[in-house]
Structures are given as structure tokens and as C-alpha cells.
Structure 1
């Protein structure tokens, strides 16, 4: 059977989808024999309808009777309106891999649209078992596979000279809790949209591309947290943490850094089951938790993180999820 993975190219000049997670999935699947089909999305609204339709027509021969992997979401109603009927008519097996879920923060109409979209596929690859249960409860009726963890392809050499600080990487606009995080631990920040002022224990180090970022991280632990409060996960971001796998977890794992995570986050299950970090109910516990980490316990977590590092660098989790769809 022919195998195809779709890539949405939003700018023909740079030829990139602009997403590390999606690009890594595409690269892993092409290494397994999938053919990448690039679908170009114009940025000119008046041409959007015709450009999308023409792009899909060109792809029909390639995807006829093929197994097709589609990465969700694509932020174009016009595009998905044309794409889904074509997929149903000409493909043999349809797989969708979820990167983001809109229904966690959308109105009922948007939620219904998303459910209809996901139910158009034969297999749905969710982040983890909690997201799987959530999707079932919301009405997804197709076979759902749990990914476990996003892979993170990098050739960066793993640093064995780690400093006893905390690393946090991500969109800092979503991490207001850092403005209230007073602790003895030094926290090194990386990412766009920093706040103007942080406590003295927090240092901002600028932003780097996803491919450049790993070589700048040398923390003892990577922090996985979101939202406004250091006390607990709350609000929209806290709700989302209960079901999703943050890509920063894969970043930390790619370079073998153990993590500290909110105990109610969905990714906490993976962290504890694999022994790659600590789960806390509040960041008020941060200093006490770090004080109780012995050299022996840290070495054990670090060694476990290095095992996961080899996997995410090799595309292990994507390959296993796709294999389970066959």
C-alpha cells in the first residue's frame, strides 16, 4: 500500500510548515517510506479557495488507495472543507495525529466541528491515555492510539556538565506564574514574550529556534508548568495541562534532563512511570523537593532520562504509534 504524509506549506518561499513537532513527524515518517505530499496554502484570502482546491486536485493521484497521515490542526476552514471529502473518497486508510485540541477552549459549535473532523479518520493518535479518555467522553468514536510522548529530533551532543539550576523553555506569555515564583533555586528562562519583571532568582536568556535551543540548556531539571499561579495549575492552561503533552517535555528529554511537573498534569503519568523526574502539587515545594534530591536519586532519574533521550531522537514514539494503526 502507498503511504503518504501531508505537509502544509504556508509560504512557498521558505517551504516550511513552521512547526518543530509537525516537521519531526514528517521526517520520521519519510524515513519509514512515507511520501511527503506538500499542500500549499496561500496567504491571500481572495485566492484561498482556488489555491486550496487546485492543490488538492494535484494530490489525488498520489493519495489514491494510500494510507494517509494528516497532522491536526490546520488553521484553514476552506482547506479542510475540501480536503476531507477527497480523503474519504480516494484513500484506503486515514490517520490523524493531534498536536493541539481546540475543543478545550472553544464554544460548542467549534467543538462539534472538531469532533466531526476527528471522526472522519480511521485512527486518531492522541497525546496520552488521559487525552484518549477525554476524546471518548466527548464523542470520538474511532480507534484512538496513545502516542506517549512527542519525539524531538536533534543532533545536539548531550551535555554531561549540568548546572544545579532549573530550566524553563516555552512561550513565556503563557507562564505568568514565573513572575510570582520566589525560590532559592535559580531558574533560567528561554523563549519569546517575556514579562518585563521577574523575581531576582529568575534569569531571561533570550529565544532560540527549536533546533538551536537544546545546546543552550544545561539545567539540573526542566520545569513543566503553565498558567498564572505557582501554587497549582489553574484556568485554561491548567485545564489543558490535564490532557496534553507539552512539547517542552520532549525538548528536555531529548537532552536527557529530568523534569519537575505538576502532579495533575497528564504528562506526570509518563514522568513517574519512566522515572524521569518529580511530580509536585505546588511550586512552593520546589526548594524542599530539590533539597531532598540525593546524588543517587538524581543519577537514577538522569540515566532514565537518557534512555528516553535516545528514543525521542530516533523517532521511537511516532513509529510505534503508526505501527499500531496497521
Structure 2
């Protein structure tokens, strides 16, 4: 049995060449207007802006983009790299994609990246100077919602998991034995079998404000990516980490998600376990005093994330770098 909860938009546009072309033209138009109007232009690098694995974009679109980037001082905001993903998961990447990404990075005067590992990748593969690479550490989330200061642990314990449902993998089976706990899954995608009784589907909520308000009634946010996806997470985290934090949820993650685990430990905003089979033991150990002690750290970090602290700090450093040129 297959459950398909993809959005109608995703089903309609997935793989559509016309949609890709129109999106590229729209992005180029916006970039041209920005380069004409402003001295400094901040460009978020995502696959919705430019996808180097697409041969057309890698050979044609990148030339137009880099030409426009030369008209202004450009700061590239990089929170994902399709080439890096390809190298991590497949061990190699198409030459046209590597060359296209190299052109894009080479046209920027400053590049904002997650962490040191991402920095080293761009420096070693593309020869970008280290002083052009600025770390922003984690993604900000500009929501208005503020979670309550104190919270009583619920019964059963409610654990939120958000993302592409096809990445749930064996998680439903792993949590099936949990006593006094339920997993609330939010997102889109296909699951290969009906969800277990201990797993409730919360729906697809596209509005971030609505999502954080909805999941704030739970107790924990779970970052679980599966073994394959975790290998990429030495280079950064996902928006899910920030979504959980601004919702007031302490985070539980597995140690193989290296960078998210590092963030959890650095800010003391949750717990790191070796694997999801340890989830039951962890939940039994956490009492309300311990929970609210950690949650106070969550609330402190959430204030920074809602104010855009990490982006603004990296941006200021990037602008200083650009202004010296």
C-alpha cells in the first residue's frame, strides 16, 4: 500500500521542463533588477534559484547569472550545494555541474556558509580564498510566535518529526514499542506502508507560522535523517532544527547527524542518542525539572533565531569584507 500526500503543486510541476525554464527566467529578471538598483546584492543559493545538475542551467543560465553578478557587490548565501550532495551520496558529480558551481562561487565577493566543513569543501574544490567564506552556523526563522515560558510534560510524550515522509524509513517500526509516547509526523511524500498506531500524521502545513504554533503543543522535536542522509549533515543542519527551537521544543537527534548533534550540545538545547532504539530509555530518564532546564536554553536560542541573529552577524562580516575591496 502506498500513501501519496504530496502537494498538488508538487505533483503538477515535478520534473516539468517548462516550469524550470520559467523559474530560471524569473530569477534572472529579479537578479537583473537588483543589480541595477543596489550596490550590494545578497543572493540565496538554492536549487530553486539555480540548479547546476541541470545541463541547461549549468551551460546557459550560469553565464547569464555570473554576467549579472559582476554589476554589483555580491554576497552569496549558501545553505545547500547540489554538487556537494552528489559527491557525498554518489562519490562523484557531473563535470558540467562542478564547473557551473565554480563559476557561481567565483563571481561572489563573499560567500556565507554553514560551518568550517562547508568552508573547507568550497576552498579545496573550487579554490576560493578562505577570507571570502563567512560562517553563519545555523538558519534563522523569522516567526512571530513566542512559546510559553513554562511547560508541563504531557502524557503521552509527544515527539514531532517533520520532513519528507519518504525519509521516515524504519522510524515508525523503531518507535512502535515506545510506552507512553507518540510520534507526530508532519510533511509530504510517500510512505511505503500504513503508519503505525504510535505514529500520527499531522498533515502538510506550508505556512511556517502555523506550523510552529501547531507543533509547540508537543514535547520534543526529533531530528532523524536515516543513515544515508546523515552523511551529508557534517556540512550543515536543516531548517527543522530552527523550526523546533522557535516552537519551544527541545531537540532529540542521533549522533550520526554530526553537525545537528554538535549544535544540540553546543547550545544545550536537547539530547543526543546513538540511535532511535535508545529513544525509549531517554524519555524515561527525563523528568519535568530536567526538561524545563533544557527548555530554558531552547527559549534563549529561539529569541536569537527569531531576530535573525545568525544571518545578520554573518551578513555584517560579509559587508565589511565587500567594502574593503
TM range (shorter): 0.7 to 0.9
Partner of 1:71: 44
Checking the alignment, whether the CA contact within 8 Å between 1:226 and 1:241 is kept in structure 2 is no
Q: How many Å separate the matches in 1 of 2:220 and 2:310?
A: 22
Task: Give the SS at the match of 2:222.
Answer: strand
Is 1:245 matched with 2:237? Answer: yes
Distance 1:59 1:177, change over 3 A: same
How far is 1:70 from its partner? 0.6
**In structure 2, what is the Cα distance between the partners aligned to 1:134 and 1:44?**
28
Residue aligning to 2:10: none
1:214 corresponding residue in structure 2:
212
- 1:265-295, Cα deviation, whole Å (9 max, x unpaired): 2121111011001111211111111222233
Tell me, yes or no, if structure 1 residue 255 matches structure 2 residue 247.
yes
Distance 2:27 2:222 in 1: 40
Q: CA RMSD in A?
A: 2.5
The reply to whether residue 205 of structure 1 matches residue 197 of structure 2 is no
Matches within 5 A, 1:1-326: 43=19, 45=21, 58-63=33-38, 66-73=39-46, 74-75=49-50, 77=57, 78-88=60-70, 90-91=71-72, 93-106=73-86, 107-109=93-95, 110-142=97-129, 143-159=132-148, 160=151, 163=154, 164-181=157-174, 182-184=176-178, 185-195=181-191, 196-209=193-206, 210-217=208-215, 218-227=217-226, 234-235=227-228, 237-265=229-257, 266-325=259-318, 326=320
Take 1:68 and 1:215, find their aligned partners in 2: how far apart are those partners?
33
Give 3-state SS (helix, strand or coil) of 2:144's partner.
Answer: coil
Distance 2:297 2:167 in 1: 29
Q: CA 1:323–1:193 in structure 2 vs 1: closer, same or farther (change >3 Å)?
A: same
**Structure 1 CA distance for aligned equivalents of residues 283 and 24 of structure 2:** 55
Q: Distance in 2 between matches of 1:49 and 1:279?
A: 40
Cα pair 2:112 2:314 within 8 Å, conserved? yes
Provide the rounded CA distance (Å) in 1 between the counterparts of 2:143 and 2:27. Answer: 32
Query: What's the TM-score, normalizing by structure 1?
Result: 0.76
- Give the match's secondary structure for 2:188: coil
- Relative to structure 1, the CA distance from residue 130 to residue 295 in structure 2 (aligned partners, 3 Å threshold; closer, same or farther) is farther
Give the TM-score normalised by the residue count of structure 2: 0.76
Show CA shifts across 1:166-198 (max 9, x none): 111112122223243234131111111252422
What's the offset of the Cα at 1:206? 1.0
Local SS of the residue matching 1:186:
strand
Partner SS, residue 156 of structure 1: coil
1:222 CA displacement:
0.3
Residue 98 of structure 1 deviates from its aligned partner by 1.1
Q: How many residues align?
A: 273
Structure 1 unaligned segments of length 5 or more: list them.
Answer: 1-41, 228-233
Structure 1 residues 121 and 58: alpha-carbon distance in aligned structure 2, compared to 1, 3 A threshold: closer
Matched residues in 1 for 2:233 and 2:109: separation?
A: 26
Structure with the greater relative contact order (CA < 8 A, sep ≥ 6): 1 or 2? 2
- Shift, 1:100, TM fit: 1.7
Change (3 A) 1:114 1:49: closer
Contact 1:52–1:79, Cα closer than 8 Å, also in 2: no
Say if 1:256 and 1:309, in contact at 8 Å, map to a contact too: yes
Of Structure 1 and Structure 2, the greater helix share is in 2
| Aligned partners of 1:179 and 1:197 also within 8 Å | no
Counterpart-to-counterpart distance in 2, 1:69 and 1:153: 17
